Amino acid sequence: MSKKIFLASVIAALLVSMPAMAIEICNSVMDVQLGTVNTTVTGVDTSTLHTGQMGQQINLTAMGGFQGNLLVNQGNYGIVNTFVNVNSATYGIGADFQLSDHQIFNVMSGNHTNNVEGYFYARAAGNNGNVDMNLKSVGSMYVWSEATNPGGANPLQGSIIEKEVWTTQDGTLKTDLGLWVNTDGLATMSNSAAWGWTNGETGTSSTNYNGGIRNVSATGTGTLSQYGYGANSLDFNCNYTMPGGGTIGGGLWNFNAGISGTYSMMAN
């Protein structure tokens, strides 16, 4: 096969109404040997409550060599329910997947006014065929959460993986939770329960929506960072093992031959 470069950019602004059942509004099938796909989907409320206002917006940027799918269904009050499955296995040259999600709860909740906006960011990157992102982003009026999709897949896998959730209230930072790993080996995250990191309409964030255990692991040499902020309260937990030794300081775990463990964080 001759070498080819496929470059695509897709920008979709989609009006979201109030259906009785989920309706597919975006189904992007991607097969890119080398290039970039950038897709933005915006949900706009067409009810009488916040007519014309944005409820939620997602953006997926995929770069490198990859295959996969982005599926978005419309929900009530400008909510967009999103399913992402992309991987670099076929072409093996590596990829960089980045998903961002913006939730405006005044619109999404329909009739509650807390002036809270939520944000989510996830990334998986690497230079080989082991980069995976298998996530879904679903809002249900008063709370938003991401989850692994399907449940048995790797939510994030690569030499770089990252998740972050944060909220603002009246334009001021209310919560901020994050974890990232950068290694010359392979890093993964996994959840024992279906749902994962979440934001709530009153300005709350958690890594453990619906309970369960959150695991992170990596091989090779690298760094893990975990951080949290809560304007009113913060529950910050982690338990990591570095079998090859390392150092800890300033929220950084520098490992010499892998790291593994569990974490949980809640902020308000």
User: How buried is 56 (Cβ within 10 angstroms: 0-12 exposed, 13-18 middle, 19+ buried)?
Assistant: buried
Q: What is the pLDDT at residue 73?
A: 93
Tens digit of each residue's pLDDT, the chain (268 residues) = 333 333 333 333 333 333 335 688 899 999 999 999 999 999 999 898 999 999 999 999 999 999 999 999 998 999 999 999 999 999 999 999 999 999 999 999 998 999 999 999 999 999 999 999 999 999 888 999 999 999 889 899 999 999 999 999 999 999 999 999 999 999 999 988 889 999 999 999 999 998 899 999 999 999 999 999 999 999 999 999 999 999 999 899 999 999 999 999 999 9
Rounded distance, CA 171 to CA 155, Å?
30
As a whole number of angstroms, the distance between CA 90 and CA 101 comes to: 27
234: Cα separation from own chain's centroid: 21
Q: What distance in Å separates the CA atoms of residue 148 and residue 134, rounded to the nearest whole number?
A: 6
pLDDT at 25: 85
Q: What is the pLDDT of residues 59-80, one digit of tens each?
A: 999 999 999 999 999 989 999 9
Query: What pLDDT shows up at residue 22?
Result: 63
Question: What pLDDT shows up at residue 23?
Answer: 82
Cβ(145)–Cβ(196) under 8 Å?
Answer: yes
What is the pLDDT at residue 14? 35
Dihedrals phi, psi of 84, to nearest 5 degrees:
-120, 125
* pTM (whole model) above 0.75: yes
Provide DSSP, 190-235. EESSSEEEEEETTTEEES-TTS--EEEEE-SSEEEEEEEEESS-EE
Cβ-proximal residues to 232 (8 Å cutoff; 6+ apart), any chain: 268
Checking phi first, is residue 218 left (phi over 0); if not, alpha (psi -120 to 50) or beta? beta
- What residues does each domain of the chain span? 85-267
Position 21 scores a pLDDT of: 52
Are the C-beta atoms of 254 and 245 separated by less than 8 Å?
A: no
Give yes or no for a cis peptide into 243 (omega within 30° of 0): no
Residue 207 contacts residue 214 (beta carbons within 8 Å): yes
* Rounded Cα–Cα distance for residues 155 and 149 (Å): 7
pLDDT of residue 8: 38
Paired with 23 in beta bridges are 74
